[in-house]
Amino acid sequence: MSAEILEERRLSIQRKGGGCGGDGMRCDAASVAGAVSQRACVYCGARVVLNPITDAFHIVHGPIGCASYTWDIRGSLTSGSELFRNSFSTDLQEKDIVFGGAVKLTAAIDEVMQQYAPKLIFVYATCIVGVIGDDVEAVCRDAEKKYGIRVIAVKAPGFSGTKSTGYRMACNALMQLLTPHADQPKAVGVNILGDYNLAGEMWIIKNYLRDMGIPVVATFTGDASYDTLIKAPTAQLNIVQCAGSMMYLAHRMEDAFGIPWMKASFFGVEDTSTALRQVAEHLHDSQAKERAEAIIAKRAPVAEEFLQRYKAHFIGKKAAIFVGGGFKAISLIRQFNEMGIETVVVGTQTGKEEDYEIISSLVNPGTIILDDANPAELETFMKEKGADILVGGVKERPLAYKLGIAFCDHNHERKHALGGFEGVENFTREVNLSLNSPVWQQVRTGASYHLRAQAPAKQVPRLLGHRSKRVGA
């Protein structure tokens, strides 16, 4: 193994078909101290899940630094309220840490109620609150009594686990919201879990389901609102897209409300087609099945034809993937396979053992598979494997640019929807634009990236076409 790799990290890195690490992937565990993990903290994990609720208010109880994690870097789209774009902090100072911050938190809730009067407030307990032991739950209970709204504590000190712990804390908060509404008559329709409507994907999925005649009761949490969320216990089925963040909620809703669940991916032609068919099958709805086939027959060939036009530009290209969850990584490998691009490095922040088993079954021998990677590891293996493009999020972008590697944001900074058949076109176009940009030749000339021996890149004509269309809510 390379000198850049810490000894303690060996078991979280595998080379398919003969390995750096052992037989099983070490994953779903605390980060190695000092390894400079790319992973977000517990609080950030909770915020990812809850922030897209459009009419909720978020109070970050902690130092101002934690509050930098706002809509501006974790944006998602709304068809209604814009309240969620605000973020408030109690800005804890030394004095509060010595004498306690509960009084300041109460004052913050009072101020929010006077100025905005939301129906729902989430209060996040951050690292320092976990250390000094403010009774955040008691403050929230008092505020609920005083104002008659929901004020829910999210116990998410950054040090208290991994990003996955934050997902669970957020799901616990959602269950606190839903449980009082358990006894409602059942409705016809489904909940969508684990899509955050980062660039309108939730609207794409909802449009497909509408065309199949399937009502959507509630969405978790992309474009969600308080009024839609509390109807969630009435749904017939939970469709879980981002399994890493939402399987825990799906299990809890099954136990509490008797709602069955299914996993679905709406990334890529193959996954989207399969998802639509499986939703109809789970509902035992033959009419919906026929309508799903009609959607697939109309949309899949168009997306595939679009992809074919670009394939010549992807010949010989190699991709690296580093994303939050295993399910997204699996979808991306499949999508790159459809595009004729080989995935040579793939990793996640919160993947589980079963995710890594599927990942391993999808990639070629020699592919590097990593859990909870750090920048040095990503750099080492992207150089070794000659990756041409990195797909990741906001924290991976600078690394790719510094190495002179193309980059595609598959997280909150993306501007075009990457889900559904529409997403296939947007993703293909975006990957082509970045991958074949002449700028990388210029950057790499002065960078440390070791280019593989290759003929000078041919200028690839741009297949720009139209910009992606905004999908209506």
User: Is the Cβ–Cβ distance between 105 and 123 less than 8 Å?
Assistant: yes
At closest approach, how far in Å is the CB of 82 from ligand SF4? 24
266 touches ligand SF4 (CB under 6 A): no
In the complex with ligand SF4, which residue's Cβ is closer, 123 or 389?
123
Which class for 473: exposed (0-12), middle (13-18), buried (19 or more C-beta within 10 A)?
Answer: middle
Residue, CB closest to ligand SF4: 158
Residue with tokens 């899509």: 195
- Rounded Cα distance, 46 and 40, in Å: 10
Two tokens at 259? 């709602």
Q: Which residues contact 435 (CB under 8 A, 6 or more apart)?
A: 313, 314, 317, 388, 389, 406
- Give 270-291 as a DSSP string: HHHHHHHHHHHHHTT-HHHHHH
66 touches ligand SF4 (CB under 6 A): yes
At closest approach, how far in Å is the CB of 131 from ligand SF4? 10
Which is nearest to 239 in space by CA: 255, 256, 218, 257? 218
According to DSSP, the β-strands at 13-15 and 368-371 are antiparallel
Counting residues that bind ligand SF4 (by CB under 6 A) gives 8
125 touches ligand SF4 (CB under 6 A): no
- Rounded Cα distance, 420 and 405, in Å: 27
Among 13, 27, 41, 77, binds ligand SF4 (CB under 6 A): 41
At closest approach, how far in Å is the CB of 171 from ligand SF4? 18
At closest approach, how far in Å is the CB of 163 from ligand SF4? 10
Residue 55 DSSP label: T
At closest approach, how far in Å is the CB of 102 from ligand SF4? 18
Helices (H), 87-220: 94-99, 102-115, 127-132, 136-147, 163-178, 201-211
Among 13, 121, 127, 275, binds ligand SF4 (CB under 6 A): 127
In the chain, the amino acid numbered 117 is A
* Upper half-sphere CA count for residue 282 (Cβ side, 13 Å): 20
Which class for 342: exposed (0-12), middle (13-18), buried (19 or more C-beta within 10 A)?
Answer: buried
Q: Which stretch binds ligand SF4 (CB under 6 A): 39-47, 174-182, 337-345, 383-391?
A: 39-47
101 touches ligand SF4 (CB under 6 A): no
Backbone angles phi, psi at 424, to 5 degrees: -60, -45
419 touches ligand SF4 (CB under 6 A): no
56 touches ligand SF4 (CB under 6 A): no
43 touches ligand SF4 (CB under 6 A): yes
At closest approach, how far in Å is the CB of 66 from ligand SF4? 3
Q: Which stretch binds ligand SF4 (CB under 6 A): 38-46, 352-360, 362-370, 461-469?
A: 38-46
At closest approach, how far in Å is the CB of 35 from ligand SF4? 15
Q: Which residues contact 19 (CB under 8 A, 6 or more apart)?
A: none
At closest approach, how far in Å is the CB of 160 from ligand SF4? 9
| C-alpha 236: how far from chain center | 25
In the complex with ligand SF4, which residue's Cβ is closer, 44 or 382?
44
At closest approach, how far in Å is the CB of 425 from ligand SF4? 36
Two tokens at 455? 């003929």
In the complex with ligand SF4, which residue's Cβ is closer, 68 or 445?
68
In the complex with ligand SF4, which residue's Cβ is closer, 79 or 160?
160
In 10 A of CB 282, how many CB atoms? 18
Two tokens at 45? 């994990």
11 touches ligand SF4 (CB under 6 A): no
Among 51, 78, 126, 164, binds ligand SF4 (CB under 6 A): 126
At closest approach, how far in Å is the CB of 43 from ligand SF4? 4
In 10 A of CB 340, how many CB atoms? 16
User: Is the Cβ–Cβ distance between 123 and 154 less than 8 Å?
Assistant: yes
In the complex with ligand SF4, which residue's Cβ is closer, 41 or 303?
41
In the complex with ligand SF4, which residue's Cβ is closer, 48 or 296?
48
Two tokens at 309? 């036009």
158 touches ligand SF4 (CB under 6 A): yes
Residues 194-223 contacting ligand SF4, CB under 6 A: none
At closest approach, how far in Å is the CB of 40 from ligand SF4? 8
Beta strands in 20-105 (DSSP E): 56-61, 88-89
Two tokens at 194? 């684990």
User: Is the Cβ–Cβ distance between 213 and 287 less than 8 Å?
Assistant: yes
420 touches ligand SF4 (CB under 6 A): no
Q: Which stretch binds ligand SF4 (CB under 6 A): 17-25, 36-44, 213-221, 439-447?
A: 36-44
Among 62, 75, 326, 423, binds ligand SF4 (CB under 6 A): 62
> Helix or strand or coil: residue 348?
strand
Residue ranges that bind ligand SF4, judged by CB under 6 A: 41, 43-44, 62, 66, 126-127, 158
